Amino acid sequence: MITALYSREVARTSFTNSSKWALRPLTTWSPSPTPQPAVLRLKTGEVFHGRSFGAQHSTFGETVFTTSITSYTDSLTDPSYRGQILTFTTPMIGNYGVPNNSTPGSAREHPADVDVGCFLESDHVQASGVVVSELCERFSHFQAYESLASWCARHDVPGIQGIDTRALTTLLRNQGSTLGAILVGEDAEKIPDASQFVDPMADNLVAQVSTKTPYTIQPAGGASASRAHVALLDFGSKANILRSLLRHNITVTVLPWDFDFNAVRDQYDGLFLSNGPGSPNSITAAIQSVAKTIQEWDRPVFGICMGSQVIGLAIGLRAYRMKFGNRGHNQPVLALSAGDMSVQAGRVYITSQNHGYALAYSEEGEDAWPEGWQPWFINANDWSVEGIVRTEALQGNSQKAPVWGVQFHPEHAGGPEDTNPLFDDYVEQVLRYKSMRNLSSDPSIVSAASAAANKAAHL
């Protein structure tokens, strides 16, 4: 019924012109289910009354909040929000609608973008539920195709509007992220059993969002334009990570989270570990595989968010669940060192983040870090570790390739671009180590170097 109504609205309002948006529907409204009474009920007993939007059924999950003031479409399609009821602290959500997520390219309109399967961060809404103070059903944006309400309905994700998100956010900050439920219609009058509030973080959420089969994407110029080939271990990767690598003319092969990378690693020039949902402690197979890679491989490794935590666990560190996590596009991090990248030690960078776990650190005791590794960034708000770097490789140890991890999202989407150059640096190191291997495998170069060394020895 919704699809039929929307089709008529599109037909009535469509237009044509010579731009890339030719034949695009021009509308400021799309149909969605009639709101019903709804409540957000927390396992700790608090109840917030409002009205439903999106899918008209109840849902359970971990109730968290984000301080992002824009890019709600990117946040809701971020696989790292799997299993969570996402609360937006911004008072009004939905004012610019939702774009056509099947359009090739991306919202950034970068000239080197290729089709990675979606316009946003994944091909559907990932959060279990959505909580907003005020829902805007009339939207205004030249790329908008539908409203937030109809989009959530199509993806079978319920939401609740009209509650005091300031009070809810204060509560979640004080007592921490809390299990909750959005109860719609007749369910709004019921009190769920404690057993129904199942913690999604206890599940292997990575297995739910990771690709099931490997696939390869070439940069805009095709295979002939590729400068290197990087493997991406997919824990629930945001699409903009792929785009950020492809824009550098890098071929990317995406592998399932539990793929035996070490069996094929010499086919690639670098390894990238993506973001992902849930607890890093639930993906033991990946941790063991990355530990072997770090110990034996001679090529650069870079991890984002979950990928950073996997690096830490792979070298024997501990990951702990944070009180309410860091979620938003305005998180400050302090750089402790350059890490052999274009990072200014002592500078504070504003970053986009979405994580509920962090790596433990102390100068001594069980949480002391092993020799050759150090924290790279720390959060300027709560002093949690926001990055990890292997220092041995930075000290000229040719047997140890560089390894870095950051807890934030340098690919942004949405969020600030302060740390986007980290992709430039990673690609530069991948190309550098590739060049070094090519030089060492060229017999003429090796022979010339040997002759020069012998001549120098007899001078």
Report, as residue numbers or ranges, the catalytic residues: 305, 409, 411
DSSP H or E segment with residue 273: strand 270-273
Please report, for residues 11, 16, 275, the alpha-carbon distance to residue 96 in angstroms, rounded to integers and kept in the order given.
21, 21, 27
The alpha carbon of 359 is separated from its chain's Cα centroid by a whole number of angstroms, namely 17
Q: How far apart are CA 313 and CA 322, in angstroms?
A: 16
The letter for the amino acid at 180 is G
Strands, DSSP E only, in 186-269?
Answer: 215-217, 228-233, 250-255
Angle, alpha carbons 275-278-284 (nearest 5°)? 85
Strands, DSSP E only, in 55-107?
Answer: 59-66, 84-88, 92-93, 98-99
- Tell me whether residue 1 is exposed, middle or buried, using C-beta atoms within 10 angstroms of its C-beta: 0 to 12, 13 to 18, 19 or more: exposed
Do 268 and 229 form a contact (C-beta atoms < 8 A)? Answer: yes
Q: How far apart are CA 425 and CA 428, in angstroms?
A: 5
